Chains A and B, each alone.
Chain A
């Protein structure tokens, strides 16, 4: 009796694994079949190309259209290796795999599992390719910055250029921004019109009006069918992701066995430094800023401390209690400040894309952000950035004045102020 039950359990477990893997690969872009996974466990070479492609699709940031032609096998392999290395993949065996993509399926399987274990990879991938039904506006630029645009083929100017070329490029940039802003204003006006014309047409009362995508759906039936198909396929992926969630424990147990079949790597005591591909940059800038800040703080705090000590020198013991209270209060404030950047400050700011909904000014208390509040937040951020820019320019001015002052016999007439 017990044996039969055990067999039944094992049977159920055996069936659960392919299901789980099938759910996983349904969720992933270019997901291979469970058979590939099984072969990868035994390091079969025929499973390698599919896994290379899968890793490439997972790791490479999506281009805006999502339809870029996938590069050659070697390029894919190199890209996957470099991305995994930069994310800190611990196993060196991956770096040693040949570039023609013919081997190493077990290693690739381990890499995939490593990526899955580290963070919400599936959700992130799905969110990237999410079908956007509403008119969305990203509130913070982090997504736009994290995803580089399509590489533009460029003729590099290798020789020395005149500084006037730089001035010309700056002017061009300024002009492009101005054009961008006017186009954006026009788009907002059109959006406003579309939203108000379609008021009352949406079945969802909280939205109240159609978005551009939905109106386009009505106008163009074929495009609407496409949208519907994309939506439905996304629903299928989402359901697969939920199935995967329920069943992933089986997968992790299996991955333990896969890891067990790998021979352990010889640990290398010496740290082999990576060949630097790029020069010093960001680190230097941050270091310089922090040092400058430290100087300024020291310059501000020391005289004050001296003045204070001179004043307070003779004060009595009742003062010390007050001092202690102040110290605690300031300590709390500064700790909160420190938390703000250590945590990333995400809670303080609205994050992520928002769907635009036009509603009357009186609608309050419902879910969602109010544009007025967001405008306030953005204005304060704008003031902050403008202050930073002004301060940098002031610094430059001082520095240049110092350098120019070395040459006597010249009068520098500054341009009229704003």
Chain B
């Protein structure tokens, strides 16, 4: 058994570490819930009862059709897909004007390539698509036939317009397309359909019929909705568009942040800065508090810097010691470096002593719940970027590697901290021999030297009589 105060401290440290981990897990679970929900089929806000089987949960990849689509439908769909690909290729060549067209053709180009790759598995995707649309069997045929007649385009109208179409409705009619595309009202849904995010190119099905046919006034650039929609190089997939109000607010937000972070230097700022320093000085002079000027927070910060310094110095020392000097010059430089490092270390120690004299009683173990990292802390004092910069990744594996590394760093941080704390508390106990010393020794060895994962064995070496 460990002494009481030691136990208390150690248990508190380990519980802190567990809490920190649990907090991360909680946040991660929250994000996971949101992401999973987004990849399932989006149920409309009010799901009226008469609807038969709700759209099955799926990420949209594994086809498991509840009702087998007819082979006729599948064939039609395949033909349609091929026709679309060809049309897109043709149109890509034609439409080169305009930034919007260029943008769309880029999309359609990529959609075309993904369509070509998807044409091979078009059968399963066709099945999947039919499955989604066949949640309403009587209309299923309708839905697969209508695309065959025309071009399922689309742009969903922004959600901001949903007030006009009824709450929760997400369906909009594809704008372009021949005017005779209008769905016969009998086939129109009275309630909004479910929607699934899908991969591009495979979603001729992600086309939502809607009760009202709206000419897409919300389209970017407001291009004319002519029957020759092909001329604009449409993308053959759903494009979700963010509501206008949101876009405006978001752009205003980023503009304001940029203004705020750039407003650091200007004439009025300088005048204000001098006024501030004058105020601080006056305050210091008229007050009766400690005049040393070093607060506990500042002392802690400096001690943190010295810890960083120790790390960096040690790293440089190991570099020098592991390098093999090739000639005299390099040997001399190694020697000088080592001596220089020694001098700096002494300076740091000196500074540490000074800090102790100034505010020694204010330092202590990390307050519960807050732990400075053992790895290099970033200088928060320098100009931080208030709005986030972009981090571009190219594949899921890359993102996973990145995140795994981040977590590993946090874990190592925690392990190093725990190691230091355990060393400080447990090694003195091993030094004093008490009852059950062997068991204690073995346990301490495993905790400190193997991270608690492996144990050593102790054999009593009895001399053979």
Contacts and interface: CB of A to CB of B under 8 A. Distances in A.
A389 to B, nearest CB: 5
Nearest to A122: B260
Where chain B touches its partner, the secondary structure class is helix
B379 A145 contact: no
Given A131-B253, A142-B377, A375-B401, A283 B360 contact: yes
Contacts of B361: 273-276
A322 B329 contact: yes
A351 to B, nearest CB: 5
A191 B345 contact: no
B288 A268 contact: yes
B103 to A, nearest CB: 8
A156 B14 CA distance: 12
A372 to B, nearest CB: 7
Nearest to B432: A403
Given A149-B20, A300-B338, A382-B405, 5 more contacts: A171-B452, A252-B272, A352-B388, A393-B450, A412-B458
A339 to B, nearest CB: 11
B303 to A, nearest CB: 6
B433 to A, nearest CB: 8
Interface in A104-163: 110, 113-114, 116-118, 123, 126-127, 130-131, 133-134, 136-137, 139-142, 145-146, 148-152, 154, 156-163
Contacts of B395: 192, 361
B452 A170 contact: yes
Given A166-B14, A382-B408, A392-B420, A187 B455 contact: no
Nearest to A354: B391
A246 B268 contact: yes
Interface in B336-386: 336-342, 344-346, 348-349, 352, 355-356, 360-382, 384-386
B2 interface: yes
B379 A346 contact: yes
Interface residues on B, range: 35 or more
Given A176-B22, A221-B168, A369-B391, A146 B370 contact: yes
Nearest to A175: B21
A212 B382 contact: no
Q: Which of A183, A344, A366, A372 has the most CB of B within 10 A?
A: A344
B415 A137 contact: no
B68 interface: no
Interface in A376-418: 378-379, 381-382, 384-389, 392-393, 395-397, 399-400, 403-404, 407, 409-416
Contacts, number: 623
A204 B247 CA distance: 9
Given A228-B245, A322-B329, A238 B352 contact: no
Contact of B240 (A201, A294, A305, A357): A201
B309 to A, nearest CB: 4
B388 A355 contact: yes
A397 B430 CA distance: 12
B404 A184 contact: yes
Interface stretch (B77-85, B173-181, B441-449): B441-449
B326 interface: no
Interface in A160-210: 160-167, 169-174, 176-177, 179-181, 183-194, 196-207, 210
A54 B250 CA distance: 28
A305 B339 contact: yes
Interface string A279-291: 1111111110111
A334 to B, nearest CB: 4
User: What 5 pairs across the A-B complex have the smallest Cβ distances?
Assistant: A344-B379, A88-B295, A278-B364, A368-B390, A281-B365
Interface in B413-438: 413-416, 418-420, 423-424, 427, 430-431, 433, 438
Given A265-B287, A286-B310, A404-B441, A157 B11 contact: yes
Nearest to A256: B279
Interface stretch (A28-36, A67-75, A323-331): A323-331
Given A290-B306, A337-B312, A283 B424 contact: no
Interface string A314-346: 000000001100110111011001101111111
A193 to B, nearest CB: 6
B458 A389 contact: no
A297 interface: yes
B402 A137 contact: yes
A378 B402 contact: yes
Contacts of A248: 272
Interface in A254-305: 255-256, 259, 262, 264-268, 271-287, 289-291, 293-294, 296-298, 300-301, 304-305
B376 A345 contact: yes
Contacts of B280: 114, 117-118
Interface residues of A, number: 218
Given A214-B242, A293-B314, A91 B289 contact: yes
Contacts of B316: 337
A368 B375 contact: no
B440 interface: yes
24 contacts: A88-B295, A114-B280, A133-B253, A156-B8, A160-B2, A163-B1, A180-B25, A189-B400, A219-B38, A283-B355, A285-B424, A296-B317, A297-B317, A298-B342, A300-B338, A304-B338, A308-B335, A343-B379, A368-B391, A371-B392, A382-B412, A388-B311, A400-B449, A403-B430
Contacts of A126: 260, 386
A13 B396 CA distance: 58
A353 interface: yes
B47 to A, nearest CB: 14
A99 interface: no
Given A287-B349, A353-B388, A361 B424 contact: no
B407 A265 contact: no
Given A167-B443, A245-B263, A282 B300 contact: yes
B263 A192 contact: no
Interface in A349-373: 349, 351-361, 363, 366-372
B27 interface: yes
Where chain A touches its partner, the secondary structure class is helix
A249 interface: yes
Nearest to B349: A290
A414 to B, nearest CB: 5
B129 to A, nearest CB: 15
Contacts of B110: 199-200
Q: Which of B35, B239, B303, B457 has the most CB of A within 10 A?
A: B35
A64 interface: yes
A111 to B, nearest CB: 10
A148 B403 CA distance: 21
Contact of A190 (B32, B365, B387, B451): B32
A212 B38 contact: yes
B392 A368 contact: yes
A315 to B, nearest CB: 9
B3 interface: yes
Contacts of B332: 308, 323, 326
A31 to B, nearest CB: 17
Interface stretch (B135-143, B192-200, B222-230): B192-200
A192 B458 contact: no
Contact of B419 (A174, A333, A392): A392
A80 to B, nearest CB: 15
Contacts of A330: 333, 336-337, 340
Contacts of A255: 279
A133 B450 contact: no
B378 A351 contact: yes
A349 B378 contact: yes
A389 B364 contact: no
B342 A217 contact: no
Contacts of B399: 188, 191-192, 356, 358, 371
B49 interface: no
B213 interface: no
Nearest to A289: B310
